[in-house]
Amino acid sequence: MERGRKRTRSAADVRAAGRVRPLDRRFYARDTAVVARELLGAVLVSTVGGQRTAGRIVETEAYIGPHDPASHAAERIGRTQRNTSMFAVAGTAYVYRIYGVHWCLNTVTADVDFPAAVLVRALEPLHGIEIMRLRRWPDGAYGPDRQLTNGPGKLAAALAITGALDGHDLRKSPLRILPGERVADARVRTGPRIGITRATDWPLRFCVTDCPWVSR
DNA sequence: GGTCGGATCATCT
DNA sequence: GATGATCCGACCG
């Protein structure tokens, strides 16, 4: 019932978004915290494997430059094979494996050779929800829908995002980000980033308040 | 509701 | 050899 209503609205949402151009380089080539904030409400669309899945971005984190000690490209680490995409042009995907288990998607921001990116931490599922369920729980033991995409590893699994997409241009299929309805400031909460051990008080996490899809 | 530990491995020292 | 931008299930209360 409620599930059916949501799916109908979501399909219309995505069809409408289909006429919209993806976010362009100028969007990403700005201050990383601003990009992280402005990505809230945007729509991440995957057609990986020929199956369309999409969700609205409701939680992000910014990782900003060599002086951000929590960044994979912090000064003490420098440029390495893994973080190479963080130095690429704005609008590039940086996808890495965490804990040997999960994939995480970032959008590269700011200027070439300045390593900065926005981690996409949670989505509100909009399209292809049954496909997401199958990818998240391939043994058929489905969990609740609110756990489909309420975390960076979970949304990557639901949208079939893997390391094969590291370095991908996010203006193009099979993984694109389209502009969405702007989330009002009153609905945006800013706070410390999650799961890090350095710079734990930097307020670079942005999420939509009262959203069941936010990780916490 | 909460806390805890294991999974699992690429990456870097 | 240690670490980690996570997730999940087990266990406790």
Taking only the tens place, the pLDDT of each residue in A29-71 is: 999 999 999 999 999 999 999 999 999 999 999 999 999 999 9
- The pLDDT assigned to A19 comes to 74
- Give strand letter and number of the nucleotide nearest A143 (CA to C1'): C8
Q: How far is CA A119 from each of CA A20, A93, A116, A130, A193, rounded to the nearest angstrom?
A: 23, 10, 10, 25, 10
Q: Is A135 exposed, middle or buried (0-12, 13-18, 19+ CB in 10 A)?
A: buried
**Window from A10-14, A94-98, A137-141, A184-188 with minimum mean pLDDT:** A10-14
* Distance, Å, A147 CA → C11 C1': 21
- Give strand letter and number of the nucleotide nearest A78 (CA to C1'): B12
* Distance, Å, A9 CA → C13 C1': 42
**Residues by CB within 7 Å of nucleic chain B, which ones?**
A 77-78, 80-83, 97, 99-101
Q: What is the pLDDT of residues A75-88, one digit of tens each?
A: 999 999 999 999 99
Fold of A11-184: 3-methyladenine DNA Glycosylase; Chain A (3.10.300)
- The pLDDT assigned to A16 comes to 54
- Give strand letter and number of the nucleotide nearest A100 (CA to C1'): B9
Q: How far is CA A93 from each of CA A33, A88, A177, A193, A210, rounded to the nearest angstrom?
A: 17, 9, 11, 20, 28
- The pLDDT assigned to A20 comes to 85
- Domain coordinates in residue numbering, chain A: 11-184
Measured between alpha carbons, how far is A48 from A196 in angstroms, rounded to an integer? 30
- Give strand letter and number of the nucleotide nearest A102 (CA to C1'): C6
Cβ neighbours, 10 Å, residue A45: 24
- The pLDDT assigned to A139 comes to 87
* Distance, Å, A166 CA → B1 C1': 38
CA end-to-end distance (rounded Å), chain A: 26
- The pLDDT assigned to A216 comes to 81
Q: Half-sphere exposure of A75 toward its Cβ, with a 13 Å CA cutoff? A: 4
Once rounded to an integer, what is the mean pLDDT over residues A103-121?
A: 97
Q: Does the structure show a pLDDT above 50 at A201?
A: yes
* Distance, Å, A20 CA → B8 C1': 40
